Amino acid sequence: MDSSVTASTPHAAAYGDNAFRLQALTDSRLLRHMSPAEIEALVPRVEILSVRRGARLVQRHDPGGAVYIVISGLLLVNQYARSGREVGYRRLQPSSYFGEIAAIDRLPRSANVTALTESIVGRLPEPLVAELMAGAPNFTRAVLEDLAAMVRALSSRVFELNAVSAPCRVQMELVRLATEAGIEENQAVLAKAPTHAEIAVLAGAQREAVTRELNRLEARRLIAKQGRTLTILNVDGLVEEIERLGGDEPEL
């Protein structure tokens, strides 16, 4: 674990009381099928970690079977080729979690997880995760449902990388981000939008291609940029662009 990750800073301590832990666990997708009593029993067994921006919380090939719950902030699951090229898999928002794959197969970590912003996470130690896997069906049910969803999402990504143009992949990534942020009246506001380089990593494209496509979409009034805020002005119009360029219609 990166030295920029700690459970003893004042920031982490301020969020370490039982009421905060209980709310964080209750909000987590990982525990969504568990009863309030089951969740409350986990409160004293969860470690709260403060993560600085840029810190690597999990490194590919490292051992370990702990599972982490994102309480606040934003993290990126990624991997680097020998050439140094970064490949991004997904961004982790509050209430999401990671680490379950190594917890299941007990093999080394399959990817890196790095903090894009100052973050707070909850750590479920490996023995606790093993105990829940074996004795808490509602915990295991959530993990299985999310693994199935991940397989579907990664299958779509493989198709996109092999059969869809870079501009189209950028558009599809924008629709995903809009869906995560919440679509209202055919618009979505990304208050802390990823940089062009971060979108390039997620879409499997060059940064220059991302910049060109975002400028084109802005000229067509499908998006608007102001600082780090990116507004999708016409989600339906963006979906039509994807269909026009030959991509599958995204699920909204």
Tell me the pLDDT tens digit for each residue of 222-252: 999 988 899 999 999 999 988 887 655 555 5
H or E stretch covering 27: helix 18-27
d(CA 160, CA 154): 10
The structural architecture, per CATH, of the domain 5-154 is Sandwich (2.60)
| 164-244 matches 5-154 in CATH topology | no
Question: To which residue do tokens 């189209």 refer?
Answer: 168
Query: What pLDDT is stored for residue 90 in this prediction?
Result: 85
The predicted model gives 191-218 an average pLDDT of: 88
Query: What pLDDT is stored for residue 14 in this prediction?
Result: 53
d(CA 150, CA 110): 14
Model confidence at 8, in pLDDT bands (50, 70, 90)?
Answer: very low
d(CA 191, CA 178): 11
d(CA 75, CA 116): 5
pLDDT at 38 over 80: yes
pLDDT at 26 over 60: yes
The 3-state DSSP class for residue 48 equals strand
Query: Residue 241 CA to chain centroid, in angstroms?
Result: 25
- Residue pair 204/163 in contact by the 8 Å Cβ criterion: no
H or E stretch covering 103: helix 100-105
d(CA 46, CA 27): 14
Contact residues for 11 (Cβ-Cβ < 8 A; gap 6+): 50, 118, 120
Query: What pLDDT is stored for residue 162 in this prediction?
Result: 80
Model confidence at 49, in pLDDT bands (50, 70, 90)?
Answer: very high
How confident is the model over 126-177, as pLDDT tens digits? 999 999 999 999 999 999 999 999 899 888 878 877 888 889 999 998 998 8
Average pLDDT, the chain: 88
How confident is the model over 74-110, as pLDDT tens digits? 999 988 878 877 777 888 999 999 999 999 999 999 9
- For the domain spanning 164-244, the CATH number is 1.10.10.10
Domain ranges (residues) in the chain: 5-154, 164-244
